[in-house]
Structure formats: structure tokens, C-alpha cells
Amino acid sequence: MHYIRDIVLERLVLEAVSDLSDFVRCYEPVFLYLLAKKNNAMRQKEYQQLQQAVENGTKRIAEIDRLIEKVFEQNAGGILSDERFAKMLQNYEKEQKTLTQEVEENRQTLQNAEQRVMDLRLVLRTLREMTDIKELTPTLVNSLIERIKVHNSDKSSGHSHVKVDIYFTAVGMIDIPTEKEILATMEEIRNNPQDFKFVA
């Protein structure tokens, strides 16, 4: 049974929010770098390539419409045999169907990336504004917490332990790095500043 007292859960969430807030205020570039790395965030270059693919795909779909119209006219005018017409029409329709699917998938990927950035901006703004929080408010929880997962209690050590996973909005689960890990990450950022960067 998943059971944890409300007061204990509230304290755990408050601690997690407070720790994340401190980390973001002190080491925001490190936080963003780790987050982008963890989520394999879309880089600016990839984002632009996807935008270009959507634009090119949309143009080609419209062009195929015109080509289909043209082969219909050529077939009706006797310029194109029925056999040749059927073959060309089939090829055009197949290409158009594939392109339409690709364009839709790329649009969805772009939309998801934009939504993630918007969510992240809101979370960052909230975390930056937080200083010394004493209690959780519904507004704070709703803007920062995506979900909380309470695991089955573990009694293997003789004591009952309940594992709680806290998923932050636009962040997911995050482990605050140690000082040593922060320094190593800062060095990584210095060496590869463009390697992991959220589309903004």
C-alpha cells in the first residue's frame, strides 16, 4: 500500500522545491546545461532545420497539387496515356501522403519544443523569485510540481521507508549535483558552450 503521512509528504516537497530553487538561483547555467543534457534538448540548429523542413515540405505539397492538376489536364487532352497518367498520379499521391505525414510530425516536434521552453521559463521565473519559503501554497505546487509518485514501503532494513519521486514541471525528476559535480559541469560548459542549449 502506498501510504505516507500528509505532513511528511509536504515536508519532502518543500525541501525539494527549496533545494531546486537554491540551485537555480546560484547555478542557473549549470541547471540549464544539465537539464538540456538530460532531456537531450533540441539545439537551435536542429530547431532551424526542422522549421526549414516544414517550410520545404509545405511548398512541395502545394507543388504536387499543381502537378496532379496538370496530369489530369494532359490526360483529358489526350497528351498523356491512361496508363502513364495512372502511374504518375500514383507516384505523386504517394509522395504527397509521405510528405504530409512528415510535415505534421515535424510541426508537432516544434510545438512540443516551444511548449517545453514556455513551461521552463515559467518554472525558472518562479524559482528565481523564491527566497526563503516556509510553506507550500497551492499556486506554488501547481506551477512547479507536475506529479508526485509514492512507491511501496520498503521494510528490508527493519524500518519502514517510503520512496517519493517528485517530478517538476518542464524539468522532470532532478538530482541536485554535489559541489564537485557542479565544478565538473562548469568546466564542461566552458569547453562546449554550444553543445547543450535549450531553444529559447
For residue 199, being part of any structural domain is answered with no
The better pLDDT of the pair 13, 200 is held by: 13
Taking CA atoms, 88 is separated from 56, 57, 72, 95, 161, in Å, by 21, 19, 10, 11, 67
Q: Please choose, from the candidates 60, 167, 171, the residue with its C-alpha nearest in 3D space to the C-alpha of residue 123.
A: 171
* pLDDT greater than 90 at residue 93: yes
* pLDDT greater than 90 at residue 66: yes
Give residues with Cβ within 8 angstroms of 19, minimum separation 6. Answer: 176
What does the pLDDT read at residue 200? 43
What does the pLDDT read at residue 113? 81
Q: What is the rounded average pLDDT of the residues 61-66?
A: 96
pTM of the model as a whole: 0.62
For residue 37, being part of any structural domain is answered with yes
For residue 197, being part of any structural domain is answered with no
* pLDDT greater than 70 at residue 100: yes
Structural domain boundaries enclosing 152: 6-191
The better pLDDT of the pair 2, 105 is held by: 105
Quick one: pLDDT band at residue 139, thresholds 50, 70, 90? confident
For residue 63, being part of any structural domain is answered with yes
What does the pLDDT read at residue 82? 93
Type of residue numbered 36: A
Read off φ and ψ for residue 110, nearest 5 degrees: -65, -45
Type of residue numbered 182: I
Domain count, the chain: 1
For residue 1, being part of any structural domain is answered with no
For residue 198, being part of any structural domain is answered with no
Quick one: pLDDT band at residue 1, thresholds 50, 70, 90? very low
For residue 196, being part of any structural domain is answered with no
For residue 137, being part of any structural domain is answered with yes
